[in-house]
Structure 1
Amino acid sequence: MSQAANTGIQERPAATASARPSSLSSRALPRWAPLAFAAVAIALGVGTGIAAGWQSRTQWGLVSALLFLVISYIATSVVENRRQAKDRLATSVVWVCFLLAVVPLASLLWTTVSNGAERLDGYFLTHSMAGVLGSEPTGGVYHALIGTLEQVGIATLISAPIGMLTAVYLVEYGKGALAKAVTFFVDVMTGIPSIVAGLFILSIMLMTKTQPSGLMGALALTILMIPVVVRSTEEMLKLVPNELREASLALGVPKWRTILKVVLPTAIGGITTGVMLAIARIAGETAPIMLLVFGSQLINPNPFQGAQSSLPFYIWEQYKVGTDQSYDRAWAAALVLIAFVMILNLVARGIARWKAPKTGR
């Protein structure tokens, strides 16, 4: 009797479990459902735009994005459940925001490449604008490229040591009112407009009666670059585990040597990446160069004397001329500048991956 009762008790949960619907066997949308929702939303968005007479494709895209969110939520609610519908809606919002951010960048890159690739060649990179009129199809960007490399190089030589040492002080030694003041001024300098930095150096030039040169432009770029280097280096130094510092100090190693031999080598990959990104940030500045360098049609390899040009200034200068030939040169110079910035970013990513701490057992 007891065995039969035990058997019945043991069989009841099994029967109940088999009768209860499992959440794992509930209906689910296929993996290709988001693509189908997107296709339907695009078709409806384009149809709505055509029917309403909208000429802007941006309006078509916004309507399609809104319809994609609505269709995804409704279809998931009907087929699955409201909890999954909310999850899919959040995922769809993330994808829509990602596309809204990528589309303008892709459009900018495509426009620059399509307009500048035809004019960009070896002649354009190895000749200057000396004696070339705005309506002539000749001329190149060599003098501006030399100016950009020299000005950015000088700014990097000044900014990188100052920014790194400031970050080391804030992380390793900074306490009290001085550290708070340095942090405050770094935050202020991070958001300073480039024209203000140019005006600051210009006021010094007027007081000291200094002539325009590439060095003056580099000093203005230095003001813009230092806070970026400080912030990026500071964050990288904070990521170094304190256990490494404590282990070195426990062995009797002085603190300055610990920073030099342990902390900085550990964070060197991220520090280098931050410096590269700071270089890319100042490479496209135009306002300080217009105020302090003045521009030149000739090749001036001496940044300490005489006016120079740069890629951003060259682009503005050629656009101001207003001829078809100058527009072509401006687009080609813009493509060179974008390629320069992209190469710096790729180099930064490569160094960061190369110098990243090796993980594994």
Structure 2
Amino acid sequence: MAASPQDVPVWGRVRRSRHVADRGLKIICTLFTILGATVLGWILLMLLVEGIGGLSPAVFTETTPGPGSQGGGIANAIVGSLILTVLGIVVATPVGVLAGTYLAEYGKSSKLAEVIRFVNDILLAAPSILIGLFVYTLMVQPMGGYSGWAGGVALAIIAVPVIVRTTEDMLRLVPGSLREAGTALGAPMSTVIMKISWRAARAGMVTGVLLATARIAGETAPLLFTALNNNFWFSPTLMGGVSNLPVMIYQFALSPYENWRELAWAGALLITVAILALSVVARLLFKKETAR
């Protein structure tokens, strides 16, 4: 008695060549996944081994040493990186949030909104070194020298597109019925946005700011043209070179001095841990927002 088509296994109704091709592609994808995970794990393991070996109390209390000097730390670079990152986020957050709000609430599908989205996508993909050169021409040359202000502006330009995109996406997830309820009560559009839309998308918007912070925390190229680096504490005016971890790692890792290379590994480990922590917090907030 012949079996009915319903009794034949799914793969029994597929030509053998397709079955072999499917299995072959699955094997190739698995192998490359293992390869990628192995390389990433190797890098992280090397970073942990070398970075932990370079950590000491002096790393967090002393300034970076000069050429040929022994000992030293990266306290000034840590503080300088924090200041530049905070400065960049402080500048980028209001610009990004307001621009994303315009795209989601006011502009929507208008021609101006389409142009802004197009420019925002370009900035998302723009090489950071070009942004550094732009800020160098815009601020460093007219001001007559490197400064933390120029570094903060360069980092802000990199962070803005991330915040714009995340803010727009999160506001678009807010149900329209919430806006209609606020409008029905006689609230103006600005009040509806601030009291309803922003509150409903708060976790997602904070996630965007955290992701932007993680994005700029390890940027090196723009700081080479704006804040540069030094081996001392920064000036209160932020004029002159401002020590920071990314540029310090770049310079110290290529140096012939053993203690400089150890400090570079320690700085790389600290940046990696900080970015990992920010990414984890951002994912938790985003998961909470989507669950709502």
TM (norm. structure 2) is: 0.87
Deviation at 1:216, TM superposition (A): 0.8
My pick for the range that moved more, 98-107 or 285-294, is: 98-107
Higher radius of gyration, 1 or 2: 1
Structure 1: gaps (5+ residues): 1-15, 27-75
Tell me the secondary structure at the aligned position of residue 292 of structure 1.
coil
Could you give the per-residue CA deviations for residues 35-88 of structure 1, whole angstroms, max 9, x where no partner exists?
xxxxxxxxxxxxxxxxxxxxxxxxxxxxxxxxxxxxxxxxx99xxx88876665
Q: 2:119 aligns with which of 174, 182, 185?
A: 185
Deviation at 1:306, TM superposition (A): 2.8
Decide whether aligned partners of structure 1 residues 176 and 143 sit closer, same or farther in structure 2, where only a CA change above 3 A counts: same
Pairing 1:1-150 to 2, within 5 Å after superposition: 91-129=26-64, 132-150=65-83
Tell me the secondary structure at the aligned position of residue 54 of structure 2.
coil
TM (norm. structure 1) is: 0.71
**Amino acid paired to 1:120:** L
Tell me the secondary structure at the aligned position of residue 145 of structure 2.
coil
- Which residue in 2 is equivalent to 1:205? 139
My pick for the range that moved more, 327-336 or 203-212, is: 203-212
Decide whether aligned partners of structure 1 residues 184 and 211 sit closer, same or farther in structure 2, where only a CA change above 3 A counts: same
**Amino acid paired to 1:332:** A
Q: Find the aligned partners of 1:334 and 1:107 in 2 and give their Cα distance.
A: 15
Structure 2: gaps (5+ residues): none
Give aligned-pair identity as a percent. 32
Decide whether the 8 Å contact of 1:201 with 1:216 is kept in 2.
yes
Q: 1:259 aligns with which of 181, 185, 193?
A: 193
Q: Find the aligned partners of 2:95 and 2:202 in 1 and give their Cα distance.
A: 16
**Amino acid paired to 2:181:** A
- Which residue in 2 is equivalent to 1:338? 272
**Amino acid paired to 1:345:** S
Decide whether the 8 Å contact of 1:127 with 1:141 is kept in 2.
yes
Q: Find the aligned partners of 1:355 and 1:22 in 2 and give their Cα distance.
A: 43
Deviation at 1:301, TM superposition (A): 5.9
Answering whether residue 250 of structure 2 is matched by residue 282 of structure 1, we say no
Deviation at 1:355, TM superposition (A): 5.0
Decide whether aligned partners of structure 1 residues 133 and 155 sit closer, same or farther in structure 2, where only a CA change above 3 A counts: closer
Q: Find the aligned partners of 2:158 and 2:57 in 1 and give their Cα distance.
A: 32
Tell me the secondary structure at the aligned position of residue 118 of structure 1.
helix
Decide whether the 8 Å contact of 1:221 with 1:288 is kept in 2.
yes
**Amino acid paired to 1:295:** N
Decide whether aligned partners of structure 1 residues 327 and 166 sit closer, same or farther in structure 2, where only a CA change above 3 A counts: same
Decide whether aligned partners of structure 1 residues 354 and 126 sit closer, same or farther in structure 2, where only a CA change above 3 A counts: farther
Q: Find the aligned partners of 2:280 and 2:56 in 1 and give their Cα distance.
A: 22
Could you give the per-residue CA deviations for residues 274-319 of structure 1, whole angstroms, max 9, x where no partner exists?
2111111111111221111121101126363232111111111212
**Amino acid paired to 1:108:** I
Number of aligned positions between the proteins: 288
Q: Find the aligned partners of 2:200 and 2:19 in 1 and give their Cα distance.
A: 43
Tell me the secondary structure at the aligned position of residue 53 of structure 2.
coil
**Amino acid paired to 1:237:** L
Q: Find the aligned partners of 2:75 and 2:201 in 1 and give their Cα distance.
A: 36
Tell me the secondary structure at the aligned position of residue 72 of structure 2.
coil
Answering whether residue 85 of structure 2 is matched by residue 152 of structure 1, we say yes
Structural RMSD (CA) = 2.8
Deviation at 1:214, TM superposition (A): 1.0
